[in-house]
Structure 1
């Protein structure tokens, strides 16, 4: 098979996005965060290597117990662990949510920062989380959040060969114009859950099959 030119790859990427827009025209963040950037930050932090449904089951109790940032900053780590015990890596995450609340208070005046660089200073917040908070919480699109779904689908579509989330994001940003960046994460997550499932992709039902070099393989 001849090597695909960048021009052809960009055209295919745009065709993928056109179909995503048809199938997921109003894709939204699956995490519940009550339109609060801080609660969004904590929810995304908690969602690492855990399902969004699992996070949504524990956050109501977390916010009932600690309704404000100062409340969470002063929390006992054992009590937070008990609340989030059902999600993966709860020991580390409990420590990070408390430290995150403390840093938001001590260094950012009680407001979640609005830059990628400052967000990534918060404990437990990497570029993926920062991208989602910027996009979803503030409507500022600086990149594409590469989670496990986006990482897998980008490889299935042969849009990247890179092995780190950061490098995959760089490849996607080269393919897609800025106006496409915002919806991609939410759309691809939905697509990854419904169709391009990690262990058993439903290639026979896939609306991208003719655009995907991996379809049926």
Structure 2
């Protein structure tokens, strides 16, 4: 990719906005797995509204710690078998496990799916809850899934969905330092305008799948490599500027330390003079 002119930005707000602009350029081709096999594409568009929403929830439950390709294949097998709440309640657990394999933690997810189907049937009239609280009360459903279900199934923008990609990239780009996806979500919601909450997950997930990989990120082809604190690709100009800034900081610290020492010495002299008097 063509290297962009590096602006002189120091404010974190300017930095993250610039990151987003450049990531959008890198994502314009829509060539990431999430673009073609993401959970928003896996429910049957011809199914009834209730079944459609349930299938969106199912896809998201399966997607946790699982590649999009594997999730899409499992959803295809489920729809071939029958993918409604009644279908999931009535299928033997061992048979459901076979359909889900090799989805990550497929045995545990098979149990969660059947328990969730039973709760939806008994408590929600066979539909998916339309609140974060209701969704997070379902077995195996956390905040990330809840916010995505609301966005995709109910067109509600209640919060940012943060998965491992979003958590990793936000910290790599230096927007903040957080230890968990939930803490990242809270920081992102402070930083990003509410009207953009719904798009940030899709944008960063695709970026994380194609460029900012978990291992071996493609820093050399990333348009953010000159303004990313984690970039492994630096030009000679970048290195010279960084070294100059480092030396200036060292000088300032030395001067500051010297001034503090002189002030302390002067205070000590005045104190001793008062005692003598």
The reply to whether TM is greater than 0.5 is yes
Q: What displacement does 1:75 show?
A: 2.0
Query: Which residue of structure 2 aligns with residue 34 of structure 1?
Result: 44
Write out aligned runs for 1:131-170 (5 A). 131-170=147-186
Output aligned runs, 1:52-201, within 5 Å.
52-201=68-217
Listed as ranges, the gaps of 5+ residues in structure 2 are: 1-9, 46-51, 234-277
User: Quick one: which of 17, 25, 31 aligns to 1:14?
Assistant: 17
1:47 and 2:63 correspond: yes
Aligned residues: 211
Contact 1:9-1:159 at 8 Å conserved across structures = yes
| C-alpha distance in 2 between matches for 1:140 and 1:20 | 25
8 Å CA contact 1:13, 1:176 repeated in 2: no
CA–CA separation in structure 2 for the residues paired with 1:176 and 1:141:
13
Q: Aligned match of 2:27 in 24, 27, 41? A: 24
Task: Name the CA shift for 1:74/1:26 in 2 (closer, same or farther; >3 Å).
Answer: farther
CA shift for structure 1 position 216? 1.4
Greater share of residues in helix: 2
TM-score, structure 2 as length reference: 0.72
Q: CA deviation at 1:136?
A: 1.7
User: Are the aligned partners of 2:97 and 2:107 in contact in 1 as well (CA < 8 Å)?
Assistant: yes
- Contact 2:54 2:84 survives alignment (8 Å): no
Contact 2:26–2:207, Cα closer than 8 Å, also in 1: no
Among candidates 201, 223, 231, match of residue 207 of structure 1: 223
Closer, same or farther in 2 for the Cα pair 1:180/1:211, shift >3 Å? farther
**Structure with max Cα Rg:** 2
* 2:265 paired residue number: none
Residues 26 and 115 of structure 1, relative CA distance in 2, 3 Å threshold: farther
Q: Secondary structure of 2:176's partner?
A: coil
5+ residue gaps, structure 1, are 1-6
3-state DSSP of counterpart to 2:44: coil
Question: Larger relative contact order (C-alpha < 8 A, sep ≥ 6)?
Answer: 1
